[in-house]
């Protein structure tokens, strides 16, 4: 199979879809890897490293789209790429369709095959290709919260962990999944007082058994959010509904009960965000203020640490890429059944219920889409 690795063109996205080490494994398995020149430089991987791994360096991304059977990205294709995607071409990336109606409609028209990292889900409900970036984002969320609580960055002027004789900051985390768990561990490690909300009793029991004593797992509800948000110095939104829009758990009205200079870090912004007042921001201009509350809503948080993120992403995606390249998509889905949920749009058919419901589109089961 010919696999294309493209340079990311979304604003301030520094990751690349595959490391030279991953490209070497693909080439050694008999596949051809086309890498756009400069694709890995922002992540610390030079063109020469890809060449030494056996990949072909290509100047023009259009040439990669024209030749490759599978395209690998980190973020969703940008408008300049829509017309380059071919019918039956596999595009393997983070799509987050439910947050982008224009992208959804554009991809339907390409009749390509959208395999979304974020909706591949195993039999235990785990999201193996979202997990590494969720780990990064969860840990980064606490770093950013700590930074923007500093007065010099517009915050309350409070140290997350406090000092002897002075109370630490209080961090409220909505969601006890991968993002929330990593955020809680990071915040606890810095000495903060952490309230971690989730709606699953089984998950709360597990969190109670692994979390440090300065973390309190609590049953989430609108009433609990209203009670705890007024105590919080930092709120981290870590809710994910795979393939669908994030629920709006923080209303504009709730901001009035929060401490002036506190911060909301909305990690769910890729899926529309958990706060009514959230809107996407960039690493260049990451925060804005609403009613005295700072909002950090960077849609590609792991892009700030691209070397770590790219290595973690390649570790997770490579088995699936190899399966597709070695056996073809249909056989790979049989080998890895979890990939079926990753198929969001196939040959013009929306095959992910969450995406169909987000925009009131017709839903087609994956099996049917391959034979129409």
Q: Binding site for substrate: which residues?
A: 15, 75
Residue ranges for the known binding site are 15, 75, 134, 198, 203, 239-240, 267-270, 279, 298-301
- Binding site for NAD(+): residue ranges? 134, 198, 203, 239-240, 267-270, 279, 298-301
DSSP 292-326: TEEEE-BTTGGGGSHHHHHHHHHHHHHHHHHHHHH
Q: How far is CA 70 from the centre of its chain?
A: 21
Q: Is 31 a catalytic residue?
A: no
Furthest-apart CA atoms within the chain: distance in Å? 69
C-alpha 47/C-alpha 315 separation (Å) is 20
| Order of all β-strands in the sheet with 32-36 | 56-58, 32-36, 2-5, 70-72, 90-93, 113-116, 343-346, 349-350
73 is catalytic: no
Regarding beta strands 263-266 and 287-290, do their DSSP bridges make them parallel or antiparallel, or are they unpaired?
Answer: unpaired
Taking the CB of residue 365, how many other CB atoms lie within 10 A of it? Answer: 12
Q: How many CA atoms lie within 13 A of 331 on its CB side?
A: 8
CA atoms within 13 A on the CB side of 50: 27
Query: For 201, how many CA atoms within 13 A lie in the half-sphere containing its CB?
Result: 0
Q: Which of 96, 233, 295, 349 is catalytic?
A: 96
Close Cβ partners of 41 (under 8 Å, ≥ 6 residues apart): 47
Tokens of 134: 């969720």
From the candidates 195, 233, 266, 270, which is the catalytic residue? 270
- Catalytic residues, which ones? 96, 270
């Amino acid at each position: 199979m010919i696999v294309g690795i493209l340079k990311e063109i979304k604003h301030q996205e520094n990751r690349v879809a595959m490391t030279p080490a991953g490209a070497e494994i693909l080439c050694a398995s008999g596949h051809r890897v086309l890498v756009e020149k400069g694709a890995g430089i922002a992540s610390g991987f030079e063109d020469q490293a890809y060449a030494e791994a056996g990949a072909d360096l290509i100047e023009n991304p259009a040439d990669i789209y024209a030749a490759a059977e599978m395209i690998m990205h980190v973020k969703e294709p940008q408008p300049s790429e829509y017309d380059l995607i071919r019918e039956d071409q596999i595009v393997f990336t983070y799509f987050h369709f439910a947050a982008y109606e224009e992208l959804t409609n554009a991809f339907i028209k390409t009749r390509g095959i959208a395999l979304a990292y974020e909706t591949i889900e195993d039999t235990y409900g785990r999201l193996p290709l979202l997990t590494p970036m969720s780990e990064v984002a969860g840990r980064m969320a606490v770093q950013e919260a700590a930074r923007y609580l500093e007065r010099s960055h517009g915050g309350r002027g409070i140290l997350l962990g406090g000092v002897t004789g002075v109370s630490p900051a209080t961090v409220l985390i909505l969601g006890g999944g991968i993002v929330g768990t990593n955020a809680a561990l990071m915040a606890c490690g810095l000495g903060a007082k952490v309230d971690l909300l989730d709606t699953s009793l089984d998950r709360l029991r597990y969190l109670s058994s692994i979390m440090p004593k300065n973390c309190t797992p609590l049953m989430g509800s609108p009433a609990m959010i209203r009670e705890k948000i007024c105590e919080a110095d930092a709120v981290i939104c870590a809710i994910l509904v795979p393939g669908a829009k994030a629920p709006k758990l923080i209303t504009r009205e709730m901001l009035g009960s929060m401490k002036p200079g506190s911060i909301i870090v909305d990690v769910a912004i890729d899926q529309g965000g958990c706060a009514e007042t959230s809107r996407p921001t960039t690493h260049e201009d990451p925060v804005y203020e609403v009613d005295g509350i700072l909002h950090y809503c960077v849609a590609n948080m792991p892009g700030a640490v691209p070397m770590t993120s790219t290595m973690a992403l390649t570790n997770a995606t490579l088995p699936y890429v190899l399966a597709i390249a070695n056996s073809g998509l249909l056989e790979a889905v049989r080998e890895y059944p979890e990939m079926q949920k990753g198929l969001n749009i196939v040959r013009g058919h929306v095959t992910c219920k969450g995406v169909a419901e987000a925009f009131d589109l017709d839903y087609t089961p994956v099996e049917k889409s391959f034979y129409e």
